[in-house]
Structure 1
Amino acid sequence: MELRQRLTLFAVTVAATPLVLGGCTTERKSGAGAQGRAAPPELTITPSERAQDVPLSAEVGTAVKGGRISAVRIIDDKGVQVAGEPREDGSAWVPSRPLQPRRTYTAEVTATGDSGKTTTRKTTFTTMPKPTKPAITSTLYFTDNQTYGTAMPVTLAFDPPISKEARADVQRRLFVKTNPPQPGTWSWLDDGSQAYYRAPDFWRPGTTISVRAGLGGLPIGKDWVGDADQSATSKIGRQVSLEIDNATKQMSVMRDGKLIRRIPVSLGKPSTPTSSGKMVIMEKHQYATFDTRGEPNGGYVVDVEDAQRLTNGGEFIHGAPWSEGDQGKTNVSHGCTNVSAAAADWLMNVTQVGDLVTFKGTEVQLQPGNGWTAWNVSWDEFVKGSALPVPAGLRPAPALAPHPGAVAGGSPAPAPSVTGD
């Protein structure tokens, strides 16, 4: 069945590289003569002095030769200090929230050399008026103070989609921190409607993930601007996964890699098959109404209990007492995974949003973007979707040359997914 309440995928418009706005201000050097002949560090900062119409997403760019940034202070025209933090590579200082329109800010940056000598530069700039260009709406599917499963991808959806030319600028404003560290990368769907962040392997239970999509006021191309600055911090819970095999009509429930229960299922019938692939639980509903009137192969309204969404297109796991006689034997649904009422209730107490659900042996393959499909590709394929260079430690190993007798192969293109009940 297909739930008539579909996920609304919105988009965010974003803009240019952090503040590459031009020249530098006059430097002020201190410590002259105190450290012998050692030269003070060379320091360049942006935006330039008296820069106008600076984007609200502005960062203070820093470039140092012969030292490191030792202090950054930004105040607005009312004397209030702006909170922020440096980028990991030290290339810029990022305000914690968008700057205010038509305000003047003063940034003072100090670099300290190995000798102890310092160089300080100061710049004053004015931000642009409130943007009048249409905003790209972004939706962050990662909520604050939650506990997610180990396959939870950080997912951003954009409406309208982000053009290929603008994705690098947007991606530069997407920040993820993990504790303990478990680095990953972002990857875009081909159409630019979604971007996912994950690591090469599933998150370790107990990991804390902090996300910021700093897109508010960010120029995206010539015609759009980012709509919002969104942040969330949540934790990863226990490791749970579900494996459903169409050949046996059984669901295997795994916890920490060990089988804890098998549950008979009825999947989509041949005319409305369930998708095969790696999905992630997106939502959980104690009660839901599936209204498919006006949908292909639909025309019915039914109330269900203990429903867990797997795709945007309407594939769920849910209690289906009407098909208990078929479960474990025959596929009779419209694409959903039917389990008994008792099993569905039990599953709701075991699973989490973000748990991996793997289907195999059905008639169609899961399509990219039909749900949170970050795990439905290998890591080698996933990193190809990044709009920015992937750090060396995360790049796939070079492919070995094939044996002379090897036969080239590959997976067929995914067939269209089907909604069901």
Structure 2
Amino acid sequence: MGRFTRGGAMAGALVLAASLALAGCGGDQKKEVEFVGGTVATPSAGAATPAQSDGASPSAPTADGLTVSPADGAKGRPVSTEISADLPGGGKVSSVTLTTGDGKQVGGKMRLDGSSWVPSSALKYNTRYKATVTGTGADGQPRQGVSTFTTMAKPKSMIGSGLYLFDDRTYGVAMPVVAEFSPGIPKKDRAAVQKRMFVKTDPPQPGAWHWVSNGTQAYYRAPEYWQPGTTLSVRIALAGIPLSNGRYGNVDRSATAKIGRAFEMKVDNATKQMEVFQGGQLIKTLPVSLGKKSTPSSSGTMVVMEKKEKTVFDTMDEPDPANQYRTEIDFAQRLTWGGEYIHAAPWSEGVQGRRNVSHGCVNVSMAMGRWLFAQTKVGDPITVKGTPRKLEPGNGWTAWSLTWADFVKGSAVPVPQGGSGPLV
């Protein structure tokens, strides 16, 4: 078991994102991560999503009765601003055009609930924009409104963020969309942030967001594992979102990735065997050794987070001398931030299948470690059952350790039965 302190979990996440994604705070060999330039989309509940006001100035009605937001002449608008309109007595917006002062058009899409128009990328700081909204009133007559507004200067206080997803990569069927925030998102702000996290799946599959770790992470998953061959298109449109703690979102992140074949590992402490399934069919059974009594393995469904053909486990700063060691490891596959891995352990081959002797890891033979390493992808699930320790929420990508009913309880907005779809 590789050493990792829970207090350093956020740093490790921002670092595993350095090898997994894109930004990273320092960490030991177990925490190498990188935050992928990506964004996340949070399909929110079926309820209509209110337009992002971001503290904007109140909208002013135009001469023909169509009200545009931001109001004409508004200044200091967040770069996360969305365009909305109100037609008295009802009606429907048909188009929104947003241009910069020099006439350059900004792309964007309407939210599916029709509540607002979302620019396809964050607006620029200190920039003047002109929004033209057309629609049809309740009387069937065309309406148009125009508003010119200016965005705010770049704020000094921002949060850090990351997305554990790479463009053009192929992941396992249990790969959750994982968004990371440092510091965490205050509870009162999570709904607004979640409504700016967009996920689209092809073929379409419902999903939901779940917040963990004091708002430092949010996971997006479907009720069941992703269908093999699914394309995930994700945007976390965080740039410029004002938070109640005086900070702002730092950047938009986006990524498009694929889901590969169905591959799953199941470990039973009672038999000390791992069963490996591909496409729903059992393809191999192999002996394992799990964590000994003083350092038990976690029971629950985990996900392969990163893979290292060779690495070093160093626990020399552990307070208990019995748990201090520095060992070269082959075919290591991380499962938790706390340092649980699947890895080759030639020193325990004599007891694998019979007795638990590890520091919490799933020990396999050198031959089976090499074989598994060649088969797995980041995002492949492994379920361990029968150990005295339960998997801690947020200790790794724990999106699948909850039932769907419990998972949706972690959403900051209501989730319709069965899950929600894309927002735009």
Q: Scaled by the length of structure 1, what TM-score is found?
A: 0.85
Contact 1:176 1:211 (8 Å CA) reproduced: yes
Which amino acid in structure 2 is aligned with residue 18 of structure 1?
A: Q
Q: Output the amino acid matched with 1:223.
A: G
Q: Distance in 2 between matches of 1:239 and 1:220?
A: 39
Aligned residue in 2 for 1:150: 173
Indicate yes or no: 2:292 matched with 1:269: yes
Structure 1 residue 344 corresponds to structure 2 residue 369:
yes
1:226 counterpart SS class = coil
Partner-residue secondary structure (3-state), 1:331? coil
Pair 1:118-2:153 in alignment: no
* Match runs of 1:358-397 below 5 Å: 358-394=383-419
Name the residue aligned to 2:70: 47
Aligned to 1:32: none
Match of 2:187 in 1: 164
| Structure ID, larger Rg | 1
Moved over 6 A (4+): 8-12
How many angstroms apart in 2 are the aligned matches of 1:377 and 1:336? 21
CA distance in 2, matches of 1:202, 1:265: 25
CA distance in 1, matches of 2:370, 2:346: 12
What secondary structure is seen at the aligned counterpart in 2 of 1:374?
Answer: helix
Which of 92, 100, 117 does residue 93 from structure 1 map onto?
A: 117
2:310 alignment partner AA: Y
The one of 315, 337, 353 equivalent to 2:378 is 353
SS of structure 2 residue aligned to 1:191: helix
Task: List per-residue Cα deviations over 1:264-298 (Å, max 9, x = no partner).
Answer: 10111111111111111111111111111102553
Could you tell me how far apart the structure 1 residues matched to 2:347 and 2:245 are?
Answer: 55
Does the 8 Å CA contact 1:212/1:230 hold for their aligned counterparts?
Answer: yes
Task: Please list every run of 5 or more consecutive structure 2 residues that lacks an aligned counterpart in the other structure.
Answer: 4-27, 40-49
Unpaired runs of 5+ residues, structure 1, are 30-41, 396-421
Shift in Å at residue 190 of structure 1?
A: 5.5
Q: Which has the higher strand share?
A: 1
Out of 216, 220, 225, which is 1:202 matched to?
Answer: 225
Alignment equivalent of 1:24, drawn from 59, 62, 68: 59
- The 1:24–1:153 alpha-carbon spacing in structure 2 relative to 1, beyond 3 Å, is same
The letter for the 1-side match of 2:62 is E
Asked if 1:130 corresponds to 2:165, the answer is: no
* Cα distance between partner residues in 1 of 2:159 and 2:338: 23
C-alpha offsets along residues 112-133 of structure 1, whole Å, 9 cap, x if unaligned? Answer: 368863211110001111112x
Residue 329 of structure 2 is matched in structure 1 by: 304
**RMSD between superposed Cα atoms in Å:** 2.2
Mapping 1:194-343, distance limit 5 Å: 194-297=217-320, 298-343=323-368
Percent sequence identity over aligned pairs: 51
In 2, distance between residues paired with 1:315 and 1:60? 47
Give the distance between the partners of 2:176 and 2:71, measured in 1 at CA: 38
The separation in 2 between residues aligned to 1:239 and 1:368, in whole angstroms, is 24
Q: With the length of structure 2 as denominator, give the TM-score of the two structures.
A: 0.84
Change (3 A) 1:146 1:57: same
Q: Which residue of structure 1 lines up, in the alignment, with residue 13 of structure 2?
A: none
**1:24 Cα deviation after fit:** 3.4
Question: How far apart, CA to CA, are the structure 2 residues paired with 1:28 and 1:172?
Answer: 32
Contact 1:25 1:121 in 2 (8 A): no
Matches within 5 A, 1:70-85: 70-85=94-109
CA drift of 1:62 comes to 3.1
Higher percent of residues as helix = 2
Q: Is the 8 A contact 2:61 2:68 kept in 1?
A: no
